[in-house]
A and B are shown apart, each in its own frame.
Chain A
Amino acid sequence: MKEYKTINKIAGPLLFVEKTEPVGYKEFVTVTLSNGETKRGQVLETSKDYVIVQVFEDTQGIDKQTYVHFSGEIIQMPVSGKMLGRVLSGIGTPLDGGRKIIPEDKRNIQGEVINPYSRTRPNEFIQTGISTIDGMNTLVRGQKLPLFSGSGLPHNEIALQIARQATVTGEEESFAVVFCAIGITQEEAKQFINEFERTGALQRGVVFLNLASDPSIERIITPRMALTTAEFLAFDYGYHVLTILTDMTNYCEALLEIGAAREEVPGRRGYPGYLYTDLASIYERAGLIKGKSGSVTQLPILTMPGDDKTHPVPDLSGYITEGQIFVSRNLYRKNVYPPIDVLPSLSRLMNSGIGKGKTRADHKALSDQLYAGYAEGLDLRGLATIVGKDALTSRDQRLLSFADTFEKRFVMQGRDENRPIETTLELGWDILSTLPEDELTRIPGDMLEAYYRRETTADEGD
C-alpha cells in the first residue's frame, strides 16, 4: 500500500506530494485527514520528485499531516442496471436515501474512444414534438445537439419538454434519461426532479446532481460519471439514452479554475488551451455502435456569458457538437415560447434523419424554404423600421408578414403541446402558402403540386 504523509504544498484543489514511490498518471487517490475524514482525488502529474494530486472535494482541513493514499488504479465507478430511478450526487453517492448501488461492473469514467469505423451512422428521427426542432433542426438518435442559451432564458423548460415528449415514431422501445446537473442551483435541481417525478420519468432515469454549492472540482467528474452510466445502459442494456447535461459553462469554469491553480499557460479568455480536447472527450461520448442495440444521445445545455456566441465555451462546443439550438432572448421578450431562433440553429444530422420513409419526402425542401423566407422577412423587418412598411414592394410586404406568421404559428407552441411531425409539416405548408407559388424556389415542382394550398387562405388558425 502506497501511503504518504509528505505533502509539501497545497494550492487550491492541488496537493504536491514528495518522496513517493513510482505513482501512475491519473491514479485514484484517497486523502485521510487527521480527524479521520476522507476525500478523493486523482493524480494530475507524476514525477520522481513530486506528485500533483487534484482533490475532488474542497481542501478545507487538509494539512501537512494528512495521509495520501495512492490506489494504483484509475477512477472507476460502479455501474448497474438498477441505477434507474436513482438520484446520486456529483460523485455518485446516493442522495435519495436509498441503498448503496451494488455494482454489476466497474467502469473507467474517462470512457474509451469509439473507433470511428465501429460507429453506426445516426439516422433515426427522434420526434420531440417541438416544431422548430422537428421541422427545421431535426434531432437524430445518437446525436449531440446542445441548447445555446443565456441566463434567465427557459432552456430548462425546453430540455424538460424534450425529455418528456421525445419518441421515435412507431416504436415502443426501452428509453432512459440520464440527467446530469453541473453546478446548477438547488432550485433548478428541484424543478428538474419534481418534474421527473410528476411525469414518472424518474423511473426510467438516473440523476446526477452537482449543485452550485458543491465543490467546483467535482464538476470535472460529474458529467463523466453520467456518461459512463449512459454508455453502460445503452451498450450493455440496450437502452436508448437521452443524456441532458446542464450547464456546460459551469463545467468549463471549473476547468479554468484548475488550470489556474496549476499555473498553466492560459489560452483564449483565460480558459486552458486544451479546452477543445477536453470538451470533445465529453461530447464525443454520444452515438451508436455497430452490433449494439442501444444509443447515447446528448442534449447539453450551456449558457452563453453575455449571450455571446463567440465566447470560447459555445464557440468550441459548436465545433464539436452536431449542430446547436439557439434560445433567443429577443423572442423570449416577445413572449414566444419556445423562444428558439431557427436562423443560427442547425442540426447537422438532420438530412440523414428525414425524408421519405422517415418523416416525409417534402421535409427538407419545406424546411429550406421556411428558412429562406424567414431570413428574408427578418432583414425586411429592419428595413421597414427605417423606410416604413409602405415603401416596400408587395413581395417584400408579403415576406414581412410571413415572418410574423412564422413566429406566431410555427415557432410558438404550448409547454405541453406535443406536435406530431405531420402536424408540424402541415403547419409549415399552411404558412408557406401565404406566399405566391413561384416565389418558392427551394421546392421542386412536384412537391408544390402535392402540398401547396391553392385555394385556402392560410390565416384560418387552428
Chain B
Amino acid sequence: MEVSLSSYSSNTEPRIYKVAGPVVIVENLNGRMYDVVLVGHNKLMGEVIEIEGNKSIVQVYEDTELIKPDDPVENTGTPLSVELGPGLLASIYDGIQRPLPLIAEESSFIRRGVTIPALSREKKWTFVATKEVGDTVKGGDAIGYVDETANFRHHILVPPYTKGTIRDIASGEFTVTDTVCTLEDGTSLTLMQRWPVKKHRPFYDKRWPDTVLVTGQRILDTLFPLAKGGTAAIPGPFGSGKTITQQQLAKWADADVIVYIGCGERGNEMTDVLVEFPELVDPKSGSPLMDRTVLIANTSNMPVAAREASVYTGITIAEYFRDMGYDVALMADSTSRWAEAMREISSRLEELPGEEGYPAYLASRLAEFYERAGRIETLSGGEGSVTVIGAVSPQGGDFSEPVTQNTLRVTKTFWALDAKLANRRHFPAINWLKSYSLYQDQVTPTLERSYPGWVANMKRLMELLSREDELSEIVQLVGSDALPEDQQMTLEIARMVREYFLQQDAFHDVDTFCPLEKQYMMVNLLLSFSDNAYRAIELNKHVDEILDLPSRPMIARMKYERDYKAYSKKVSTQIEKDFNELFGGEKE
C-alpha cells in the first residue's frame, strides 16, 4: 500500500499496528503463541493468539480505550499463568487472578492497568518441613505444609517436572516468595509456584469415579447422582434457577475445596455470593464456607477476553488443590458466556464462523475443559479429584443450540432445568424425565451398603414419575375423574413425591441441605404410604379417604424437620396407625 508512514516511527521495536476492541495487532513482536504481552503505555495485559508474518494478533484483557497505533508493546515471554500457593483460599479474583478486594481499596470501580499480585507478598506463613536434607524428591511430592486455615492443610508440592536431592530445607515463617528448600542442583523452591492456565497439570493416572458427591439436594443425590471427579451440565433458560442450583452445590457439596467461577454473570449475584459465603458455616468443619472457597468473578460487563481466561484460571487452581490429594468441586456459571467470549473474539479476528457464529473450535475447547475433570492418582501416588459442574445458558431455552449439544457430548450427568417447573415455583426446577446420570451404576454400590434398598427405591420413584407422565396425557383428554381408582392413586402419590420430596426450598434453614440419611428416610416413608395406599384401594377404599389420612400432611412437613430421625419414626408409626384404622374390621 502506498501510504506514507512518515508520521510513524520506523524502528523494529514491537509497535501497535491496529486496534479493534479487545483485538490488537502488533508489529515486530517476535513472540510465541499465548505469550503474555503488555500493551500500550498503561501496560494492559494481553495474550498472543495468532501470528502472521511480522504481525501478531493479541487479545487484551482490559478495555483498549485510547490505545493508539504505534504505542509500545512489551513481551513478557511467558504464557498466562496463575500463582499457586498459600493464600488462595477465601480469595476473590477477577478472570486473570487479580484480587478484587485489594483493587477495591483504591476505588469502587475497576480501573485499567491495575497490577496487584494474586498472593500477598507480605504475609508470612508458618511452614513445617516434612522432608529432610538428603531426601530425594520429584514433582508432586510434598516437602512440607502450611496450615492455611484452622481446618485446611496446604501441602507444599515440588512443581511438576522438577526433581533432585534436598540440599537445604527449614521450617519457619516465610512469605510466598522466600526460598524454603534448595535442591542439590541449585533449584530453589518457594511456597508459591506458577502454572500456565491453558495446560493441564500432570498426574499419574486417571481412575474410575465411584464415590458420590453428596450435594444435599434430594433430586440430585437420590435420582441423578454425580460422582467425585465427574462432570455435570446444568442447562436451562433464564429464570429456571441455574445460578441458585450452582450456589447450592457450592455451599453444600461435600468437597474439600470449592472453586466458583462467575463467568460473565451478574454483578449483584456475585455480591450475593461474596456476602453470603462468609456467613455460612460448613456442616463438616464448622468454619465459614468461604474458608474452603476460591471465587473467580468476571461479571458480564468486565472485559470479554478476561472472561475467556477466567474458566482456565479456575480449573488450574482446582487442579493444584487436587494434586495435594483433595476433592475439589468446580462450578462454572455460565459456560455459555465463556463460549460467547470465544465467539466474540473469533468474530473480531474475522475467522470463518461455525454454527450460530460460534468458532469452529468450540467443541474441542469445551471437551478440553471438561477433560480436566477426573479422579486421579497424583504424581506422588495419592488420590484427588476435580468435579466440574458447568451451567449452560442456551439461547431461547433451546437445548439444540451448539453450546448445550457440545457440552452434553462430554459431560456424563445432565440436570435439565425446565422453565415450566420454574414458572410454577417448583424448585429446584430440574426435569426428572429429561435428566440423567451415567454415574448411577458406579456410585450406588457404596450407597446401597449404608442404605439398603437405595437402588430399588430410586427405581420405584422413577417408575412412578414416568407413569404419572403417561397418565397425565390421558387426563388431558378425559379428565382425572374418568380414571380408575388405582390410577388416580398413582397420580396422587406422584404428586406427593413431587411436592414433598423433589421440591426443596433453598432459602429454608433446614430444607436447604438434606443429608443422605434423611433423603433415604423420606423415600421410605413415601413408599410405605404408597404400598399401603394401593392395598387400601384393592380393599375398595376410596382415594379421597386415603388422602384425608393425617399421616399424609405429616410426610409433607418432614423436609422442614431438623430432628428428622425422631420425626421419621413418628410419621412411620402414624402411617401404620392410619391404615390399620382404615382397614379396620375388614381384615380377615
Contact = CB atoms under 8 A, between A and B. Distances in A.
Interface residues of B, number: 87
Interface string B331-363: 000000100110110010010010011000000
A113 B299 contact: yes
Contact of B101 (A74, A117, A375): A117
B557 A445 contact: yes
B108 A292 contact: yes
Contacts of A267: 343, 347, 356-357
Given A49-B1, A371-B424, A391 B482 contact: yes
B108 A319 contact: no
Contact size class for A? 35 or more
Interface string B264-279: 1011111110110000
A116 B267 contact: yes
Interface string B379-421: 0000000000000010111100000000000000000000100
A288 to B, nearest CB: 9
B161 interface: no
Most buried by A among B7, B21, B109, B266: B266
Most buried by A among B25, B271, B475: B271
A116 B297 contact: yes
A290 B69 contact: no
Given A25-B68, A266-B357, A115 B268 contact: no
B67 A45 contact: no
A142 B269 CA distance: 12
B296 to A, nearest CB: 11
Contacts of B264: 276-277, 280
Nearest to B301: A284
Interface string A422-437: 0000000000000000
A344 interface: yes
Nearest to B100: A117
Interface stretch (A79-87, A118-126, A149-157): A118-126
B239 interface: yes
A119 B271 contact: yes
A188 interface: no
A29 to B, nearest CB: 13
B25 A47 contact: yes
A272 B396 CA distance: 16
Given A22-B70, A364-B507, A284 B266 contact: yes
Interface in A92-127: 110, 112-122
Contacts of B174: none
Contacts of A19: 3-4
A411 to B, nearest CB: 15
A284 B475 contact: no
A369 to B, nearest CB: 9
Contacts of B475: 383
A287 B267 contact: yes
A312 interface: yes
B267 A387 contact: no
Contact of B110 (A21, A24, A113, A445): A113
Nearest to B7: A21
Contacts of B270: 116, 119
B300 interface: yes
Contacts of B507: 351, 364
A273 interface: yes
A287 B18 CA distance: 35
A266 B358 CA distance: 10
B499 interface: yes
Contacts of A285: 301
Interface string B440-484: 000000000000000000000000000000000001111111100
Contacts of B239: 318, 323-324, 344, 346, 348
B280 interface: no
A45 B18 contact: yes
A184 B344 CA distance: 29
A441 interface: yes
Contacts, number: 241
B65 interface: yes
Contacts of A309: 396
B538 interface: no
A18 B65 contact: no
A444 interface: yes
B100 A116 contact: yes
Interface string B289-303: 000000001011110
A287 B3 contact: no
B267 A119 contact: yes
A27 interface: yes
Interface in B520-541: none
B111 interface: yes
A254 to B, nearest CB: 18
Contacts of B64: 25-26
Given A45-B20, A391-B482, A277 B304 contact: yes
Given A26-B65, A284-B299, A322 B268 contact: yes
Contacts of A74: 65-66
Interface in B37-70: 63-70
B480 A396 contact: yes
Given A19-B3, A265-B357, A346-B239, A115 B266 contact: no
A163 to B, nearest CB: 22
Contacts of B21: 25, 274
Contacts of B583: none
Contacts of A343: 423-424
Given A117-B92, A386-B477, A22 B108 contact: no
Interface of B: 1, 3-5, 7-8, 17-21, 25, 63-71, 92, 100-101, 103-104, 107-111, 237-239, 262, 264, 266-272, 274-275, 297, 299-302, 304, 337, 340-341, 343-344, 347, 350, 353, 356-357, 393, 395-398, 419, 422-426, 475-482, 499-500, 507, 553, 556-557, 560
15 contacts: A48-B70, A121-B271, A267-B357, A273-B340, A277-B300, A277-B301, A284-B267, A292-B108, A322-B266, A343-B424, A346-B422, A348-B239, A375-B425, A382-B476, A392-B481
Given A115-B110, A267-B343, A376-B424, 17 more contacts: A19-B4, A45-B19, A112-B109, A267-B357, A280-B300, A291-B108, A319-B238, A320-B300, A344-B423, A348-B239, A348-B269, A368-B425, A383-B479, A392-B479, A392-B481, A441-B499, A441-B556
In the A-B complex, the 5 residue pairs with the smallest Cβ-Cβ separation, listed nearest first, are: A310-B396, A47-B18, A280-B300, A375-B424, A391-B479
